[in-house]
Amino acid sequence: MAKAASKTEMESREFRMRDSDFRTIADAIYTHAGIVIGDHKRELVYSRMARRLRQLGLANFETYLGRFDGPHGAEERDHLINALTTNHTHFFRESHHFEHVRDIAVKHWQARAAKTGDRRIRIWSAGCSSGEEPYSLAATLAEALGQGGGWDWRILATDIDTNVLAHAKRGEYPVGAVRDVPKTLQRNHFQPSARDGAMVRASAAIRSRITFNRLNLHGDWPMKGQFDLIFCRNVTIYFDGPTKNRLVKRFTESLKPDGWLYLGHSESVLGGTAGLHPVGRTIYSFKGEAR
Ligand SMILES: C[S@@+](CC[C@H](N)C(=O)[O-])C[C@H]1O[C@@H](n2cnc3c(N)ncnc32)[C@H](O)[C@@H]1O
């Protein structure tokens, strides 16, 4: 494990980052994104923010932090958020979730449609990073529901980080990134990119099913309807307990009565959030109805 740089080491670097500068940055990312940055992340904060200081031609963190009170404050806050979020993701990450969607959720919707005629499916990928999660979902649904059948399905994909969202909207990835996509889905839903032979792009058909929007999970949620599925995976690990509990409660309010919530492998709903019942590895059924 890398040794954390001592205070003196930090001060002798290219840019001076005082204890108080680090704390101001940690407080700002907590206030604006709910992300907790502990002391052991000093090194990471330094290296990610040093790039920005270089870009701006600034001499130290103190001057940099002064920008937050000036006319560029809001813009700088976005840069800070983009720099300090962790965006690691890949296609079909935690593949058992996509198997659950294909084998359980789709069958449930087919049975529901047969009974009520309801063919509307709404999914939210909350904290979608560069798009691999919503495109994995879209390819799974396109394959499982097929072309006909009158299904009206859409995915809302949101993140607080504007850089990853721009990448996600384009839907273009290095060829190697789709190696975890099942072969049939690769063939049917990802095509060689017209721009660059070393890249693949999600098909226009699945791209058209996804709406990407910036959304801070701790801010207002402008969405009116409720969701059949909410994926919020590997996002709440960066939040503290009360923030996470509040968020999970809000998710339950945004789920249809027969909806499911999917969290990441190290995240769980502790303390028995009302109405959520575990039905698989980090999969929660709302109201726990038998199905
Ligand atoms: C590690 S990625 C997870 C991506 C994907 N869900 C997965 O599991 O592969 C976490 C994402 O959560 C986003 N995030 C962090 N705090 C957020 C917040 N307050 N509101 C919305 N998104 C946030 C980050 O920008 C990042 O892209």
CATH of the domain at 44: 1.10.155.10
Q: Which domain holds residue 55?
A: 7-84
Average pLDDT over residues 224-243: 96
Q: Which of 147, 141, 150 is nearest to 118 (CA)?
A: 150
What's the whole-number average pLDDT of the chain? 92
Q: Where are the alpha helices (DSSP H) in the chain?
A: 7-11, 19-33, 42-56, 61-66, 73-84, 95-100, 106-116, 132-145, 162-170, 183-189, 204-207, 241-253
Report the amino acid identity of residue 63. Answer: T
Q: Which atom of ligand 1 is nearest to the CA of 217?
A: 20
Which residue, judged by its Cα, is nearest atom 27 of ligand 1?
A: 129
- 124 in Cβ contact with 231 (< 8 Å): yes
Q: Are residues 206 and 185 in the same domain?
A: yes
How many Å lie between the centroid of ligand 1 and the Cα of residue 99? 22
Catalytic (active site) residue 159: yes
Residue 1 lies in a domain: no
Lowest mean pLDDT among 47-61, 75-89, 92-106, 265-279: 265-279
Q: Are residues 124 and 263 in the same domain?
A: yes
The structure's pTM equals 0.94
How many Å lie between the centroid of ligand 1 and the Cα of residue 154? 20
Q: Where does ligand 1 bind, in terms of residues with CB under 6 Å?
A: 33-35, 85-89, 93, 127-129, 133, 159-161, 164, 216-218, 233-235, 238, 264
Residue 125 to residues 22, 154, 189, 273, Cα–Cα distance (Å)? 31, 11, 19, 20
Catalytic (active site) residue 281: no
How many Å lie between the centroid of ligand 1 and the Cα of residue 179? 22
SS3 (DSSP) at 100: helix
Q: Which of 175, 15, 181, 167 is nearest to 91 (CA)?
A: 181
Q: Are residues 114 and 200 in the same domain?
A: yes
Task: Express each pLDDT in 152-193 by its tens digit.
Answer: 999 999 999 999 999 999 999 999 999 999 999 999 999 999
Enter the tokens of residue 277. Answer: 């019942």
